[in-house]
Structure 1
C-alpha cells in the first residue's frame, strides 16, 4: 500500500533527492589513474601491433592539385567562440584544398591540406561515406589543415561546434566534401615519377611559447619537402608550429592568415605549394605590425624566404618506399575540468562536444615519416620525437587536425597551470600528453628501416 504523503512533503523530498544526486551527475572528481594501468592504453597498444609497415615496390610517383573551397559570402567563420556565429562579408584571399597523391605501384596515399581551422569531423564522416565509390579506404587519406582562424565554419552540429564555427550548413559540408574528392582525383591524374628531399631551417624569431614563455621549450624548425617530377614540375610541402591567429578575431573577412601569404610566395618560384599546421599547441606567431594583413604578409613572406634560401641545398632522390596507416586511438573518459580536482561528467561533455572516433595518421615517403594528430599538439614534444627519428636515420613531420579533435595536448607538467590550454581546452586529463607521446614514439618505431 502506497503511503499518502502531503504534496508539500513530496515536493521537498524531490528537491532533497535532486540536490543529493545532481552534483554526481554533473560534477565528478578527476581521475588521476596512471595511463599505463588503463584499458584504453592496452587497447591502443594492441592496435599498434596490427599496423602494417610501408611497402617497397616501383619508383614513387607523385602528383598534386588544388581546388578552391571558398563558400559564398555570408557563411559563418570558424576559430573564436566570442564571434557567436559571425559571418564574413568579404573575401581577402580564397581558401583551398591542396592535395598530394603518391603511388609506388603497390600502395596509394593522399596528403590533403585544407585552408580551414581543422579538418572537421562532419566532413571526415561525409568523406568516409564516399571513399568506397572512389576506390579509396580511409587509411589512404591523410587529412590535415592550416589551422587559420579566419576561414569558414558552418560544419559543426553540436553546441560547442556551433559556438566555434557558427550555425551548421549542410551545403557547406557537402560542397567541401566533393571538392576534396575532386582534388584527390586531379592529383591522381597528375602522377609522375618524382624525386623528393627533406629540409629544415631554424625560424626561431617567428615563433614563441605562449603557454610558459620559455625560449628553450619551443619547436622552432620550419620543415619542408621538395618534390621534382620527371617533367620538371616542382612542389613544396611545409609545416610550422606557430598558430595562424594574426588577424583580428572580430574582423568579418575570410583569409588564410600567414599560411596563405607563405604559400603564395612559394608559388612565385615553384609550381605548387602547400602548408600544414605543425605542433601548434602553446605556440604563437611573432609579428611586428599588430593584428593586421601587413603582419600576415610580413610573416608569410619571411618564412617563405627562409625556405627558398634553404631549398637549393636539399638533395632529392627517387624512392620506392611508401606507406600509410590509421591507428584507432582509445581514450579515457573526458575530463573537462572545473578547478583543480573536479571535472564535468562525461555525459555533459558528450552532449556539448559530441562523441567522435579518434585516430593517429601516418604516412611514410622514403626515409621521411609524417604523423597526423587529432588535436592541437604541443611543439614542446617535438625534440624528443625528432631525436628518435634521427636515431633511426629518418626525418619527421608532425601535423595536426587530422579529421578528429581532442583539444590541446600539452606536457603533463603544465596541467596545473591556470591557462586556457591547460584548463578550458584540455579535455582528457593529466596524463594525455605522456600517453599520446608514448604512442607516437611507438609509431615512429614501426617505421624503423
Structure 2
C-alpha cells in the first residue's frame, strides 16, 4: 500500500513538473538579437519613411504665430467630482509606481501651445506639465479637432514632471505608473488641450523666429553610468516674437523632472515649472518646456525637493535668458514637415533572465493598446526638431545633435509625442542591471540602433544632406 501511494505521489509530482516546464516554455521567449536591418518591420518602415519624404510639406514665406496657455490643475475635492468645474477625487500623481493620491496643489500646472503658419501651412507645438502625453488624450484631441487640423500637424511633448495628473493610461503598465484609468480625466484633458490648440491658432499674427542653445552641464548627469557618462547638456531654445511685441520661448532640456520625489502628494511642475514661471516673470510672455533626451539623464543641483527644483529651474532660466538676448530673428521662415508611421520589433518586456523575457502574447496583455506608431520631423530655418514617442538616451541624442551642428543646424529631440515605447538606450547597456535597460527597455537590444537610423534618415531628409 505504501509503495502504491508513493507511485501516485511521484506521478503527480512528475506531472506538475512537466506542466510547470511547459508553462515556462510558452510564457517566456529568448531575447531576439536578429540584426534589425534583416527584418520585415525594418523594410516596411523604410518604405513608409521614403513615402513620407516624398509627400513632405515644404513652404517658405512670412511667419504667422499664435500663443495660448491653459491651467490644467485639478481642484481636489472630498465630495462629488465634477470635471466641468475641474473638480476631481482620487487622482494619482503619475510617474512613480508608488506615487500618492493628490491632496492639494504646490504650484499650478499648465498646457501651452504655439501655432506656426507659413503660406497656409500650419503646425502646432504643444507641451503640458504631465509625465507624458498618453495616446488616449491625443486620440481624444484628434477626434475633437477633426476637420480643423490634422494629427500630422500637431507636435506633442511633456515636461515629464512626476507630480502631475495620472489615471490617463489603460492597462497594467498604465495603472502601475499612473493609477487606475479614468475616462473622465482623459475627456477633461482632451477638451482642455483641444481648446488650447484652437486658441493658439486664433491668436496668429505676423511674427519673427529664432533658435539657439546654451550648455548647462552643471544641472544634468548621466544616471546609467554616472560622472564618466556622456551628456547631452544643451538647453535648446526656440523663440518667437509677434508683431505686437508678445514673446514666447520654448526650452528643451534632458534632465529628468524627478526632483521632488515619490513621497510628495501635491501637484507641481517640478523644476520645469520653476523654469517656465521664472522666464515668464523676467523675459517672455509665455514659456514652454519640453523634455528632451531624458532616457539616460537625471537632474543635478543644490538643495532638496522644492528648493532643489527651484534652484534647477531658475538657474536653467537664467541660462536661457543669456542665450535669448543674443538671438537674431527673421520673419521669413522655411518650414519642412515629415510625418511617418513606423513598425517596431515584437515586445521583449519583463526581465526573466539575461536570456529570457516574457512571451510577446503575454506582454501585450500588460501594455496599453497602441495604434500605428508615428514619428515626426520639422525644420524651421536652421532648427531641426524630431518629436519622438519614447524617452531617447542623451548618449544617442548627443551624436545626432553634434552631426547636425556640424552642418550648421540647431536641433531638438523631444520625447512623449503622444505614444510611449519606453526607454531607448544604447545597445551596449541592454544587459546592464539598471532601471533604464532592464525594466524600461521593452523591444530588445537592437531597438536603439534601429530607431537612431530612422532619426538620421528623417534628419537627412529635412536637411537635404547625409549626416
Q: What SS class does the counterpart of residue 294 from structure 2 fall into? A: coil
Selected match of 2:422 from 393, 396, 407: 407
Which sections of structure 1, spanning at least 5 residues, go unmatched?
A: 1-6
Selected match of 1:168 from 174, 177, 181: 181
Alignment of 1:252 with 2:265, yes or no, is: yes
C-alpha separation between the residues in 1 aligned to 2:75 and 2:168?
14
* Alignment partner, residue 276 of structure 1: 290
* Contact kept in structure 2, 1:54 and 1:447, CA below 8 Å: no
C-alpha separation between the residues in 1 aligned to 2:322 and 2:408?
24
* Alignment partner, residue 82 of structure 2: none
C-alpha separation between the residues in 2 aligned to 1:210 and 1:130?
40
Alignment of 1:29 with 2:35, yes or no, is: no
1:12, CA displacement in angstroms? 7.9
C-alpha separation between the residues in 2 aligned to 1:114 and 1:305?
21
* Alignment partner, residue 200 of structure 1: 213
* Alignment partner, residue 80 of structure 1: 96
1:202, CA displacement in angstroms? 1.1
Alignment of 1:53 with 2:56, yes or no, is: yes
* Alignment partner, residue 4 of structure 2: none
Selected match of 1:66 from 41, 63, 69: 69
* Alignment partner, residue 4 of structure 1: none
* Contact kept in structure 2, 1:158 and 1:354, CA below 8 Å: yes
1:23-422 equivalences under 5 Å are: 23-51=24-52, 52-73=55-76, 74=89, 75-83=91-99, 86-133=100-147, 135-215=148-228, 217-268=230-281, 269-290=283-304, 292-336=305-349, 337-357=351-371, 358-422=373-437
* Contact kept in structure 1, 2:427 and 2:449, CA below 8 Å: yes
C-alpha separation between the residues in 1 aligned to 2:176 and 2:398?
34
1:309, CA displacement in angstroms? 1.6
C-alpha separation between the residues in 2 aligned to 1:127 and 1:11?
56
| Equivalent residues, number | 439
TM-score (norm 2): 0.90
* Contact kept in structure 2, 1:199 and 1:223, CA below 8 Å: yes
1:248, CA displacement in angstroms? 2.2
* Contact kept in structure 2, 1:53 and 1:446, CA below 8 Å: no
1:64, CA displacement in angstroms? 0.8
1:108, CA displacement in angstroms? 1.0
Which sections of structure 2, spanning at least 5 residues, go unmatched?
A: 1-7, 77-88
* Contact kept in structure 1, 2:169 and 2:368, CA below 8 Å: no
